[in-house]
Each structure stands twice: as structure tokens, then as C-alpha cells.
Amino acid sequence: MSTTAEKPAAPDSEPGTAGQSLAALGRRGVGRRTIRTGRVRRLTRRDRLVLAVMVGLPTLIQLLLVWLPTLFSIALSFTRWNGLDLKDIKPAGTDNYRFVVEDYPPFWPAMQHNILWLVFLALIATPLGLLLAVLLDQKIRGSKIYQSIFFTPVMLSLALIGIIWQLFYNRDSGLLNYLLGTAGTPAAVDWFGDSNVNIWAAMVAATWRHAGYVMILYLAGLKGVDPSLREAASIDGANAVQTFFRVVFPAMRPVNIVIVVITIIESLRAFDIVYIINRGTNGLELLSALVIQNLVGEGQVIGVGSSLAVILLVISLIPIVFYLIRTFGKESKA
């Protein structure tokens, strides 16, 4: 990767045009600068020192508080520990993993819920956001107002979203049961409490936020699509749907990649909503919540919690690596 960056490419690249991604822009910049650096720049000793601090400080923070703990998580997942004295850490081989997979009842429900969460966001929330963006990108009266409305939940914390929807879903005081006409009757549903439906209720609440997020990103993406592409398509006789799926959507590739990654990562990170409802129990088990349940409170089982964290890490690495390859690899010449 670094070799591509160092290669003196495209010596006279134009400054960025609308369709180009920033990353592609950046790469050219690197190439161009490298040539000049060779000629002009000579760093003084003081400059080197300043640079070392400028790079060293953030890198140290990043290593110490992000990557070292990640490695510790992996190490702890192969141990047995109650979190008290460091001397009590005992090697446990793969016992924790075996326990989690074979004897830990909430594990498989949590896996299923995480997958369900991902599928729900991918099939409902994300397409809904895209649809809203496409509709609002048209010449439509009140587009700004609609945008503001759909965008509002994006600024709220997921914890607050949990509370707001709790008020909406409540069995006795919530609006939903009134609207369904079941309020006060035995048929009234406690949407967040009933383990048959609460995962769906939580995913609807998550969609409320996710769709708005996707909408904003796609609105920016649609704006970046070269208008002449659409023009050419319509001259060729393509209808609106064909134009969108064959021309406009593929042209938004950089945004599409970001959306795919965000959707996957958000579904793995889902935590706040279920934690505020019932700490991720009784139908709302998620991997992230199980990790925390094993770390806090009495009977801390750090090893089990860490092995769950590592499982979460390994799954997360799939979208992360995909994204890094797309962004930094050779492939991403937008």
C-alpha cells in the first residue's frame, strides 16, 4: 500500500472535481508532494523533534488506550480471572470459548439477535434511508423541512431514543397501545417487556435513527453524482428507475461502501438501546450486552466476558478490513 502512495503518480493532477472522492484526491496529493519533498524539504533537528511529538503523542494514546486493550482482551479470553488480584490470573486454554458456545444459554440468542439486527438495518432501515434521500433529492416543495424531520433522531443519543420509545411503547401509558385500541385491555402489549416482540420494537427504534443517518449520507452522495450521467442515460431512453439503478447508484460507490460498513458496524455496536431497556436480557440479548454483563457486578468472570469480546472483535474485523482495503488499497481508485 505504501509503495503506491510513494510512487510519484500523476504529476500535474487537477484540484478535485465534484465526483472525486477525497481519498483519491489525497493519494494524488501524496504523490505530488513526494517529488517536491525530495527537492526542497530539509528538516532541521528541531523540526524533527516537533514532528516526533506531533506523531508520537496521538500514536501513544491510540496504542495505549485502543490497541493494547484489544490485545489484552485476546489474552484475557484464554484465562480465568475474577478481576481482583493480578496474581490470580490463571491460564484456561480455550475453556472460556467452549463454555460460551456450549453452556452459556444467552450466547446463541445473542448471535441470532445481532444477525437479525444487521438484516433488519440492511433490508429495512438502510433502503428506507436511501428511498427518502432519492425522493428528497428531487425538486420537491418542503424538501428542507422533510430533511430536518427525518434527520432529528440522528442527533439524539441511543440512550435517549430508548427512553423516548419506552414512553411510546409502554403497556399502560404508551401511545402505541392506544392507537391499536388495546390500551387497558388484556391484549395490550408491553412492547419492550414482552420477550416475543421486544427485539422487533428495539429494531424499529434503531431504524428511526439509522434511516435518517443513511438519508443524509446519500443526499450528499446524490449531489456528487455528475448530472451529465443522468442526462446521458435519459437520452439513451432509460426511465427513472433504470437510470437510478444502472447509473446513479453505481456512481455513488464510495458512499455505498461507507453505508455498508456503517450498517454492519452499527448492528455490532448496538448496545445503548437494549441496555437502557433491560440491560440486554429477556429477549434483548446482544453480544455487546453480554460482554458487559460478564464484566460488572458480582461474580465477575473476566475470562468469559473477554472471550465474548474477542468473538465480537473477530466479527467486527470483517467489515473493518473490507473498509480499509477499499479505502487504502489499490482498488479504491474512485
- 270 to 289, contacts with another protein by CB under 8 A? 271-272, 275-276, 287-288
Q: Cα 333 to the chain's mean position, in Å? A: 23
21 contacts another protein (rule: CB under 8 A):
yes
Q: What angle do CA 279, 285, 289 make, to 5 degrees?
A: 50
Give least dist CB 108 to another protein, A. Answer: 18
- Among 7, 10, 37, 245, indicate the residue that binds another protein (CB under 8 A): 37
Looking at residue 297, what DSSP letter applies?
Answer: S
- Cβ(269)–Cβ(319) under 8 Å? no
Q: Which of 7, 10, 43, 123 binds another protein (CB under 8 A)?
A: 43
Instruction: List all residues 6 or more positions away from 92 whose beta carbon is below 8 Å from its beta carbon.
Output: 78, 79, 80, 303
DSSP string, 110-125: HHHHHHHHHHHIIIII
**90 DSSP 8-state letter:** E
Q: Does the protein bind another protein through residue 109 (CB under 8 A)? A: no
CB of 317 to another protein, least distance (A): 9
Q: How far is the CB of 62 from another protein (least distance, A)?
A: 6
Q: How far is 126 from 214, CA to CA, in rounded Å?
A: 6
* Binding residues among 137-156 for another protein as defined by CB under 8 A: 137-141, 143-156
- Count of Cβ atoms closer than 10 Å to residue 288 Cβ: 20
Let me know the angle formed at the C-alpha of 268 by 264 and 271, rounded to the nearest 5 degrees.
Answer: 135
Residue 90 binds to another protein (criterion: CB under 8 A): no
Tell me whether residue 199 or residue 294 sits nearer to another protein (CB atom): 294
Min separation Cβ 95 and another protein, Å: 17
**DSSP character string of 207-256:** HHHHHHHHHHHHHHHHHHS-HHHHHHHHHTT--HHHIIIIIIHHHTHHHH
Cβ count near 85 (within 10 Å): 8
Interaction between residue 318 and another protein (CB under 8 A): no
185 binds another protein (CB under 8 A): no
324 touches another protein by CB under 8 A? yes
205-264 residues near another protein, rule: CB under 8 A: 208, 212-213, 216-217, 219-224, 227, 230-231, 234, 240, 253-259, 261
Least Å distance between CB 45 and another protein?
Answer: 11
Residue 94 as a binder of another protein (CB under 8 A): the answer is: no
* Rounded least distance, CB 63 to another protein, Å: 8
Size of the site for another protein (CB under 8 A): 140
Cβ 230 to another protein shortest distance, Å: 5
Between 234 and 282, whose beta carbon lies closer to another protein?
Answer: 234
Task: Please identify, using beta-carbon distances, which residue of 116 and 261 lies nearer to another protein.
Answer: 261
Site string for another protein, 50-89 (x = CB under 8 A): xx-xxx-xxx-xx-xxxxxxx-xx--x------x--x---
List all residues 6 or more positions away from 151 whose beta carbon is below 8 Å from its beta carbon. 212, 215, 216
Q: Measured between alpha carbons, how far is 301 from 298 in angstroms, rounded to an integer?
A: 9
What H or E segment, with its residue span, contains residue 34?
A: helix 22-39
Task: Decide if residue 9 touches another protein (CB under 8 A).
Answer: no
- Each as own residue / partner, the long-range contacts of residues 240-249 (CB below 8 Å, 24 or more positions apart, any chain) are 244/134, 248/222
Return the residues of window 113-142 that contact another protein according to CB under 8 A.
132, 135-141
- Residue 8 sits in the site that holds another protein (CB under 8 A): no
